[in-house]
Amino acid sequence: MSTLKWGIIGCGDVTEVKSGPGFSKAPGSALVAVMRRDASKAEDYARRHGVPKWYTDADALINDPEVEAVYIATPPLFHEEYTVAALKAGKPVYVEKPMTMNSFSAIRMAEAEKEFQTKLTVAHYRRGLPLFIKIKELIDTNEIGDIRFVSLQMLQPHQSELITKTEDNWRVNPKLSGGGLFHDLAPHQIDLMLYFFGKVKKTEGISGNQGAYYPADDIVTGQLLFENGVIFKGIWCFTVPKEETKDLVEIIGSEGKITFSVFGQYYSVAKAGKEERYEVKAPQHIQQPMIELVVDYFTGKGENPCPAQEGIEVMRIMDSFCQRE
């Protein structure tokens, strides 16, 4: 069996456990090169993970003839530039979430995919996890009847343990991330809603910066009306007291309710006065199931698990919630 050889642009914290090792552990896949601007950190990453090559220049990695596919895990500001460069070089791209800074940038990335006739997948990797595949199955088989509405609450204290910390804290710098912690976490949540319920008919939202700890919005609310009639309402607030921390999604149907945590490992089903809770353990390398699907797609053995158009829609919804349209 042939092996798809990967290069990573941006081998930072998110690639240490969540994604990086998955490129070598997925069947038919191998990680052969990594890039980071800091030479000592790039070399250290390559040594610790057993990667043969390391670079400090993205173009050098992209143009390495041994690299056949590129995973982009930089801050979002650089996603479009590196994605277009890799696609132009004929290398399929797996790009981290959020797909990019805004929906206009996402559209340009999709146009480059079409222009250069290459492949592009967005890393909305929760689509590949057993927990959310099971929840979609429950929805599709009408386990709780016809879905009426969905409520999402993502409430975190200012110093949340859920948020990945970096030296420069780029996730709350809109010039690098496109927004704040909403832009870091909400792509997973909004994409799951698209995965579960399909196309959106209407969006609206409000956002603000109440705590003024950083330049980005720290509170966002949003509503979606899906074409199938399902209504979604979400609130994201990153300045609540620690005891008010919450990561809760409730899907209400005509015959019951499904409850789960987007960043947890459980779901529960309440029906006819009874509620049962189930644990679904996430894999050690949480992106590996999605990476396996991407490898199949890039090698012509499967469908695209998250096409660029899905990434564009997530960005469009986020823009709408933050009044950017």
The answer to whether 79 and 99 are in contact (CB under 8 A) is: yes
- Please check whether residues 214 and 106 belong to one and the same domain: no
- Please check whether residues 72 and 210 belong to one and the same domain: no
Residue 318 lies in a domain: no
- Please check whether residues 297 and 207 belong to one and the same domain: no
pLDDT beneath 50: ranges in the chain: none
- Please check whether residues 137 and 261 belong to one and the same domain: yes
The whole-angstrom separation of Cα 49 and Cα 95 is 20
- Residue 118 belongs to domain with CATH number: 3.40.50.720
Tokens (6 digits) for 193? 């809603």
Torsion angle in degrees (nearest 10) through CA of 111, 22, 292, 178:
-30
Q: What is the CA radius of gyration of the chain?
A: 20
Residue 324 lies in a domain: no
Q: How far is CA 35 from CA 14, 70, 77, 234, in A?
A: 14, 11, 16, 37
- Please check whether residues 291 and 191 belong to one and the same domain: no
- Please check whether residues 100 and 213 belong to one and the same domain: no
pLDDT at 164: 57
pLDDT at 166: 57
pTM for the model = 0.95
| Range(s) of the domain holding residue 209 | 130-282
pLDDT at 324: 77
The whole-angstrom separation of Cα 207 and Cα 202 is 17
- Residue 213 belongs to domain with CATH number: 3.30.360.10
The answer to whether 271 and 255 are in contact (CB under 8 A) is: yes
DSSP track, 121-157: EE--GGGGSHHHHHHHHHHHTTTTSSEEEEEEEEE--
The whole-angstrom separation of Cα 165 and Cα 16 is 13
Residue 229 lies in a domain: yes
- Please check whether residues 211 and 300 belong to one and the same domain: no
Residue 207 lies in a domain: yes
The whole-angstrom separation of Cα 314 and Cα 178 is 13
- Please check whether residues 165 and 225 belong to one and the same domain: yes
Residue 169 lies in a domain: yes
- Please check whether residues 20 and 39 belong to one and the same domain: yes
Q: How many domains does the chain have?
A: 2
The whole-angstrom separation of Cα 67 and Cα 8 is 9
- Please check whether residues 150 and 247 belong to one and the same domain: yes
Quick: pLDDT tens for 15-71. 999 999 999 999 999 999 999 999 999 999 999 999 999 999 999 999 999 999 999
- Please check whether residues 115 and 135 belong to one and the same domain: no
Residue 205 lies in a domain: yes
Residue 319 lies in a domain: no
- Please check whether residues 66 and 13 belong to one and the same domain: yes
pLDDT at 127: 96
pLDDT at 159: 82
DSSP state, residue 307: B
Residue 314 lies in a domain: no
